[in-house]
A and B are shown apart, each in its own frame.
Chain A
Amino acid sequence: MEFIGGKLLQVVIALAIFAAVIGIIMLVVDRAPKSVKDRVTVAGFLAPAAILMLVGLVYPAVRTSTLAFTDASGNANGFDNFVWMFTQPEALTTLRNTVIWTVLVPLLSTGFGLAYAVFIDKARGEKVLKSLVFMPMAISFVGAGIIWKLVYDYRGPGIEQTGVLNFFRDALGMDPKQFLLDAPENTLFLIIVMVWIQTGFAMVILSAAIKGVPVELVEAARLDGANAWQQFRNVTIPGIRGALVVVLTTITIATLKVFDIVRTMTAGNYDTSVVANEMYTQAFRAGEPGRGAALALILFLMVLPIVVYNARVLRKQREIH
């Protein structure tokens, strides 16, 4: 275990440097002459974060936008990368898959999450039941990929199956299936992994929202003779509309950026690639930074309207409250 020492030392040095920088900033702020004190404070407190965000996000975003219009050797090539993206079969598959992901994952996750939140509301052991479904949120996409590879595990027909799903197929007299290899439905089996992770998020947010719906409203609807479904449809759903929008949009954005699941489970092979994975493959594996940048730009353009919509809904809500 002698390797730990060297690594620990690096961490300690980094923390010491960081502490020194922060210490100097505090010193400068305190010693600044009174006339400029406020301005020095603002600058000193803001500068480290501002510099990091400028270098790490603003500049790269601008740079990527220009990179998208260059070829592998860095020469401008107009819209070639985008033409490639919208004409080449494999690139089109990538786009198609991304669309399927962004439609199915938010709907299914929110659907399951909402149903579960309603079903276990005020049930005995609600906390434990919540934890079970919420737990995948803490697991890395890579870990989730391995967990589900095990579920989808395949052995040839006639051999004892090791994957749960093929075990059931076997028991029902069906041939075992190569869940991750058979296109195009293999994309659906990758999507299930993402749904498995995101349902917990939807459930927690929606459960809190459901508990925020005034009990008197539900009670009044019940007294008016509404049955459980009508109460849910006409009282609960309108009461949690804001939370629903937030959950749907948040999961949509997360889904657009999904990378790790595809990377670990199929590496984008067998027609399963999505934009975020293809971006990595093109830029860092295939030596095509221009194409990678173009894909990143497309990703940004797909995320943008959702975020804008989300921000507007939020602002409206704040005005009401």
Chain B
Amino acid sequence: MTATPAPKEASKATRQRPGSDPTEDAQPIMRRVKTKLTSKWATAAAIIIAVVWSVPTFGLFVTSFRPAAKQVGPRSNGWWNAFVDWDFTFKNYTDVLTPAGSQSANLSQYFVNSIAIVIPVTIFVLVLASMAAYVFAWGKFKGRDALFIFVFALQIIPLQMALIPLLQFFTQTLHLPAGSYAQLWIAHTMFGLPLGIFLLHNFISEIPGEVIEAARVDGAGHSTIFWRIILPLSVPALASLAIFQFLWVWNDLLVALVFSGGTADVAPITQRLAEISGTRGARDYLNPAAAFVSIIIPLLVFFGLQRYFVRGLLSGGLKG
């Protein structure tokens, strides 16, 4: 959770980002020359950091394409040898994805589960949080600000505090079937709302009041204003929140462990991954491929929508 420097300051900072583009860099030549001269060591350090930060992921990527015998057993060696041997295979990926026998990682099932969990949750949080944020920003009622601060403060509660009673509530009071998506959908939505409301409120409260007033004069009701004006205008903030929510739910392990029941019918890919990597054995060579299958979607989302992700971070939200 949390919030970053006043959003205004942050957005100002992002706007100045074009400075990183050398063509737009209008600084005196002197300065640039000077930075060039003094920054030889800095450049070296930056390159070292970049390499150290990328090598682990790259190693996993290369390993995932290496035959089993090269990964485990007497003929195994480090992944960097792959460029000498030049021995690559797709077999790990097919093994990991196809449901064959009880020994199979059967990852495609869990992959579908992850999608089936993350999409409804993201929609639920976006709709419910924007409805609440709209009322907090533009509704008039007693105790509005105090209530908003309370919702903001809810982000303090660590997930861990909620797990035990919530599980009891789901199974004993609501009698939700164990091992169904419903528990995961509801739990994730609950945990996502405080941050969602906070992020969207920041954005929605900055929509000019005249726009809303004009619609009201034209006879539009609250629901029309909300769906026709507020939501379309909030698309950038909604995109940021959607990415957060997506990444957070996709990458979650704790909520899944507590509420999913762990079967192939419900459990998400992270849970399966933790399971197969936790047991040492003959299937060890599948771990890298399995891990890569699980991180490919978040990586695509991340690289495709990095702009919104960064904007979201800067305007106040990271859930922990």
Which residue of A14, A118, A126, A243 is within 8 Å of B20 (Cβ)? A126
- Which residues in A have some Cβ–Cβ distance to B below 8 Å? 1, 3-4, 7-8, 10-11, 14-15, 18, 22, 26, 29-30, 37-39, 41-42, 45-46, 48-50, 52-53, 55-61, 63-64, 67, 112, 115-116, 118-124, 126-127, 129, 131-143, 145-151, 155, 160-164, 167, 196, 199-201, 204-205, 208-209, 211-212, 215, 219, 222, 227-228, 242-243, 246, 249-250, 253-254, 256-257, 259-260, 263-264, 267, 276, 279-280, 283-284, 289, 292-293, 295-297, 299-300, 303-304, 307, 310-311, 314, 317-318, 321
The answer to the question of B186 belonging to the interface, with a C-beta cut-off of 8 Å to chain A, is yes
The answer to the question of B308 belonging to the interface, with a C-beta cut-off of 8 Å to chain A, is no
Closest CB in chain B relative to A138 CB, distance in Å: 4
Which residue of A142, A211, A321 is within 8 Å of B19 (Cβ)? A211
Tell me which residues across on chain B come within 8 A of A30, comparing CB atoms. Answer: 221-224
Tell me which residues across on chain B come within 8 A of A126, comparing CB atoms. Answer: 20
Closest CB in chain B relative to A165 CB, distance in Å: 10
A249 touches B123 (CB 8 A): no
Q: Which B-chain residue is minimally distant from A222 (CB atoms)?
A: B31
Which residue of A53, A289, A300 is within 8 Å of B194 (Cβ)? A53
A18 touches B123 (CB 8 A): yes
Which of B88-96, B135-143, B205-213, B233-241 forms contacts with chain A? B135-143
Q: Which A-chain residue is minimally distant from B108 (CB atoms)?
A: A1
Most chain B CB inside 10 Å of its own CB: which residue of A126, A211, A222, A314: A211
Which residue of B20, B50, B251, B310 is within 8 Å of A142 (Cβ)? B251
Interface residues of B in 53-95 (CB under 8 A from A): 53-57, 59-60, 63, 71, 76-80
A118 touches B9 (CB 8 A): no
Tell me which residues across on chain B come within 8 A of A148, comparing CB atoms. Answer: 56
Bound state CA distance, A133 and B310, in angstroms? Answer: 13
Tell me which residues across on chain B come within 8 A of A139, comparing CB atoms. Answer: 57, 251, 295, 298-299
The 4 closest A-B pairs by CB, nearest first: A56-B190, A254-B320, A140-B251, A138-B302
Known contacts A61-B162, A140-B298, A280-B257; 16 additional CB pairs below 8 A are A11-B116, A11-B181, A52-B189, A53-B194, A56-B162, A56-B191, A63-B165, A67-B164, A123-B46, A136-B53, A138-B298, A143-B273, A146-B291, A162-B77, A205-B314, A212-B16
Interface residues of B in 144-160 (CB under 8 A from A): 151, 154-160
Chain A-chain B contacts (Cβ-Cβ < 8 Å), number: 365
Tell me which residues across on chain A come within 8 A of B185, comparing CB atoms. Answer: 14
Bound state CA distance, A280 and B164, in angstroms? Answer: 9
Interface band, chain B: 35 or more
Bound state CA distance, A310 and B153, in angstroms? Answer: 12
Q: What are 27 A-B pairs at a CB distance below 8 A? A: A3-B112, A11-B120, A30-B223, A45-B134, A49-B129, A49-B197, A50-B132, A56-B187, A135-B53, A135-B299, A137-B302, A138-B298, A140-B273, A140-B298, A141-B251, A142-B251, A142-B274, A142-B277, A146-B60, A150-B79, A228-B38, A246-B5, A253-B320, A260-B253, A292-B164, A299-B160, A310-B2
A64 touches B112 (CB 8 A): no
Interface residues of B in 207-229 (CB under 8 A from A): 221-224, 226-227
Q: Is the interface of B mostly helix, strand, loop or mixed?
A: helix
Interface residues of B in 112-129 (CB under 8 A from A): 112-113, 116, 119-120, 123-124, 127-129
Most chain B CB inside 10 Å of its own CB: which residue of A150, A254, A304: A150
B45 touches A115 (CB 8 A): yes
Which residue of B19, B113, B158, B270 is within 8 Å of A140 (Cβ)? B270
Q: Which A-chain residue is minimally distant from B99 (CB atoms)?
A: A3
Most chain B CB inside 10 Å of its own CB: which residue of A55, A57, A64, A257: A57
Bound state CA distance, A127 and B18, in angstroms? Answer: 11
Bound state CA distance, A164 and B56, in angstroms? Answer: 9
Bound state CA distance, A222 and B291, in angstroms? Answer: 49
The answer to the question of B107 belonging to the interface, with a C-beta cut-off of 8 Å to chain A, is no
- Which residues in B have some Cβ–Cβ distance to A below 8 Å? 1-6, 8-10, 12-14, 16-17, 19-20, 22, 25, 27-28, 31, 34-35, 38-39, 42-43, 45-46, 49-50, 53-57, 59-60, 63, 71, 76-80, 108-109, 112-113, 116, 119-120, 123-124, 127-129, 131-132, 134-135, 139-141, 151, 154-166, 169, 180-182, 185-187, 189-191, 193-194, 197, 221-224, 226-227, 247, 250-254, 257-258, 270, 273-274, 277-278, 287-288, 290-291, 294-295, 298-299, 301-303, 306, 310, 313-314, 318, 320
Which residue of B46, B59, B113, B250 is within 8 Å of A120 (Cβ)? B46
B120 touches A15 (CB 8 A): yes
Bound state CA distance, A138 and B43, in angstroms? Answer: 25
Q: Which B-chain residue is minimally distant from A316 (CB atoms)?
A: B6
A18 touches B9 (CB 8 A): no
A60 touches B164 (CB 8 A): yes
Which residue of B9, B128, B164 is within 8 Å of A49 (Cβ)? B128
Tell me which residues across on chain B come within 8 A of A57, comparing CB atoms. Answer: 154, 157, 162, 190-191, 194
Q: A119-B39, A196-B53 are in contact. Are A42 and B135 (CB under 8 A)?
A: yes
A140 touches B5 (CB 8 A): no
Bound state CA distance, A299 and B320, in angstroms? Answer: 13
Most chain A CB inside 10 Å of its own CB: which residue of B5, B8, B54, B109: B5
